[in-house]
């Protein structure tokens, strides 16, 4: 795929596309973590509150994989500072992500019974904002 992209796009755009694809793979893995935590905690704290620890765990997981793979060698400073910045900047993505999640489980019986659908919609809602913010602020 990368070789095909080099034929049709300038090198810097290929690098951006590949970085976005890696970000998407990490996001897909984070989706699995997010969903697992929602299902693990919803019986105890309900669908609404299960979204909070799920987001924290999944976002932390995503930060680590993005640091190691997607944005490898980019960014500086101590890890705890970078994690804090990642979590803070991704609050915009969190708002989009969990806004979609909470709306869907509130208005749809299907989503309330199967929160994986709402988690997926929320993940897609926040992905573009999170990529832009991560690239511009966290891993620059």
Dump pLDDT digits (tens) for 49-106.
998 999 899 999 999 999 999 999 887 788 999 999 999 988 888 898 889 999 999 9
The model's confidence at residue 13, banded by pLDDT at 50, 70 and 90, is confident
Residue closest to 133 by CA, chosen among 41, 66, 73, 78: 66
Q: How many domains does the chain have?
A: 1
* Domain range enclosing 54: 2-138
User: Is the pLDDT assigned to residue 6 strictly greater than 90?
Assistant: no
pLDDT computed for residue 7 by the predictor: 67
Q: Using CB atoms within 10 A of its CB, is residue 7 exposed (0-12), middle (13-18) or buried (19+)?
A: exposed
Q: Does the pTM of the predicted model rise above 0.75?
A: yes
- Burial code (b: 16+ CB inside 10 Å, e: under 16) for 117-140 equals bbbbbbbebbbebbbebbbeebbe
């Amino acid at each position: 795929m990368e070789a095909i992209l080099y034929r049709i796009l300038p090198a810097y755009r290929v690098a951006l596309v590949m970085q976005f694809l890696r970000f998407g793979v990490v996001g897909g893995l984070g989706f699995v973590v997010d969903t697992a935590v929602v299902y693990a905690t919803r019986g105890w704290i309900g669908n609404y509150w299960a979204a909070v620890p799920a987001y924290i765990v999944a976002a932390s997981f995503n930060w680590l994989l993005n640091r190691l793979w997607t944005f490898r060698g980019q960014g500086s400073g101590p890890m705890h500072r970078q994690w804090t910045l990642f979590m803070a900047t991704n609050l915009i993505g969190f708002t989009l992500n969990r806004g979609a999640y909470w709306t869907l489980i509130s208005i749809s019986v299907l989503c309330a019974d199967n929160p994986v659908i709402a988690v997926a919609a929320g993940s897609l809602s926040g992905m573009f904002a999170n990529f832009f913010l991560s690239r511009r602020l966290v891993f620059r």
